[in-house]
């Protein structure tokens, strides 16, 4: 069982990885070591052969209580420099802790319970699917501390939660329950025992074609802001390697080039 900085553990069973945020004495609050451990766990999963689905959960009484305020006060501990620097693709180090779950090629399910505040809510929002206890306490908490959500929330909530609802919750930082979160679009399913439900769903997904599932996730990631025409073309191009052998694909390409040549003036 890989362990990352005594903050995160990863176990794999029957093609399903379980990522456990494991700082229960601090309600899995995010300090510098937790940020590094989550990113390391993500890198481990990206290269883990045979993993077809991932479940993320929190140890103890909470999924994640958000930023550890002592870490926020000690800005020197944020090792990768200014927030405007792009240290992980299009994201900075802080954002990547939430967005890396979208970047993983396999589906990710968050099992949410207890408390899910601020950065914790943004991490959960990076998952493809979220299963929460109805009495989970959630909040877009950042304005309470005089900052704004900056771990990818504006990107990850887009399309799931109504804009006016997000604005109200951000401006007021009021708490809401898992049941309310489900109605608002933050949560996919409610369950009195989220982790077993999430693991069961992950094993169901793991039993499907891994190539088709990964391709489907990639399409969802890429097509959200595309034009209608580009979405339709992306679907078609993604389908071809799933349906045809390399030899058949080459024959299809040659046939297309031949037909195109007929329309070119000599």
CATH number at residue 219: 1.10.12.10
Q: Are residues 112 and 214 in the same domain?
A: no
* Same domain for 215 and 200: no
At residue 77, the pLDDT reads 46
Q: How far is CA 41 from the centre of its chain?
A: 13
CA-based angle 14:16:17, to the nearest 5? Answer: 125
Q: Which residues of 102-124 are buried (b: 16+ CB within 10 A; e: fewer)?
A: bbbebbbbbbbbbbbbbbbbbbb
Last residue of a domain, one of 169, 185, 206: 206
The torsion angles phi and psi of 33, rounded to 5 degrees, stand at -65, -35
Q: What is the mean pLDDT of residues 242-247?
A: 84
Tally of CB atoms within 10 A around 179: 15
Quick one: pLDDT at residue 80? 46
At residue 164 the predicted structure's pLDDT band, cuts being 50, 70 and 90, is: very high
H-assigned helices in 47-104? 69-73, 93-103
d(CA 151, CA 34): 14
Contacts of 188 (CB under 8 A, 6+ apart): 129, 130, 131, 182
CA distance 5 to 35: 10
- Scanning the structure block, which residue is given the tokens 């990863």? 10
Number of separate domains in the chain: 2
Beta strands of the chain (E only): which ranges?
3-4, 8-13, 16-21, 53-58, 108-112, 115-117, 129-132, 137-139, 176-177, 189-190
Q: Note the Cα 156 to chain centre separation in Å.
A: 8
Average pLDDT on 75-97 reads 78
Domain that holds residue 116: 3-206
Model confidence at 76: pLDDT above 50: no
Predicted local distance difference test score (pLDDT) of residue 255? 73
Looking at the predicted structure, is the pLDDT value of residue 157 above 70?
Answer: yes
CATH number of the domain to which 68 belongs? 3.90.226.10
Work out whether strand 137-139 and strand 53-58 pair parallel, antiparallel, or are unpaired.
unpaired
Reduced to 3 states (helix: H, G, I; strand: E, B; else coil), residue 138 is strand
Do 162 and 243 have their domain in common?
Answer: no
What confidence tens digit (pLDDT) does each residue in 3-18 have? 888 999 999 999 999 9
Range with the lowest mean pLDDT among 44-53, 73-82, 117-126? 73-82
User: What is the three-class DSSP state of 33?
Assistant: helix
**Residue that terminates a domain, selected from 161, 181, 206:** 206
Q: Are 114 and 58 in contact, with CB atoms under 8 Å apart?
A: yes
Instruction: Tell whether 133 and 216 lie within a shared domain.
Output: no
pLDDT digits (tens, 9 = 90+) for 181-218: 999 999 999 999 999 999 999 999 999 999 999 999 99
Please state which of the ranges 27-41, 69-83, 102-116, 163-177 shows the lowest mean pLDDT.
69-83
Residue 2 has pLDDT above 90, yes or no: no
Averaged pLDDT, 51-72: 93
**Mean pLDDT rounded to a whole number for the chain:** 91
Residues 34 and 151 grouped into a single domain: yes
Question: pLDDT at position 262, please?
Answer: 64
Cα separations in angstroms, 231 against 116, 216, 220: 34, 12, 10
Cβ distance 10 to 19 under 8 Å? yes
Whose structure tokens read 């299963």? 131
pLDDT confidence of 264, banded at 50, 70, 90?
Answer: low
Are residues 133 and 171 both part of a single domain?
Answer: yes
């Amino acid at each position: 069982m890989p362990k990352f900085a005594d903050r995160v553990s990863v176990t794999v069973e029957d093609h399903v990885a379980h990522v456990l945020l494991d700082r229960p004495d601090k309600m899995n609050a995010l300090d510098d070591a937790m940020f590094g451990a989550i990113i390391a766990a993500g890198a481990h999963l990206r290269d883990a052969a045979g993993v077809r689905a991932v479940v993320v959960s929190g140890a103890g009484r909470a999924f994640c209580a958000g930023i550890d305020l002592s870490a926020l006060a000690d800005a020197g501990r944020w090792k990768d420099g200014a927030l405007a620097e792009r240290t992980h693709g299009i994201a900075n180090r802080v954002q990547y802790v939430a967005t890396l779950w979208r970047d993983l090629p396999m589906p990710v399910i968050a099992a949410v319970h207890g408390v899910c505040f601020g950065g914790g809510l943004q991490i959960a929002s990076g998952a493809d699917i979220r299963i929460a206890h109805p009495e989970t306490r959630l909040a877009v908490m950042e304005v309470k501390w005089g900052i704004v959500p900056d771990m990818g929330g504006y990107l990850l909530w887009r399309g799931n939660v109504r804009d006016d609802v997000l604005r109200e919750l951000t401006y007021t930082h009021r708490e809401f329950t898992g049941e309310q979160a489900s109605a608002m679009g933050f949560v996919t399913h409610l369950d009195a025992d989220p982790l077993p439900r999430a693991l069961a769903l992950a094993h169901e997904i793991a039993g499907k074609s891994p190539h088709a599932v990964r391709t489907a996730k990639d399409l969802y990631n890429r097509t959200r802001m595309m034009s209608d025409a580009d979405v339709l073309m992306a679907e078609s191009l993604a389908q071809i390697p799933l349906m045809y052998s390399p030899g058949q694909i080459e024959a299809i390409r040659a046939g297309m080039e031949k037909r195109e040549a007929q329309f070119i003036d000599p």
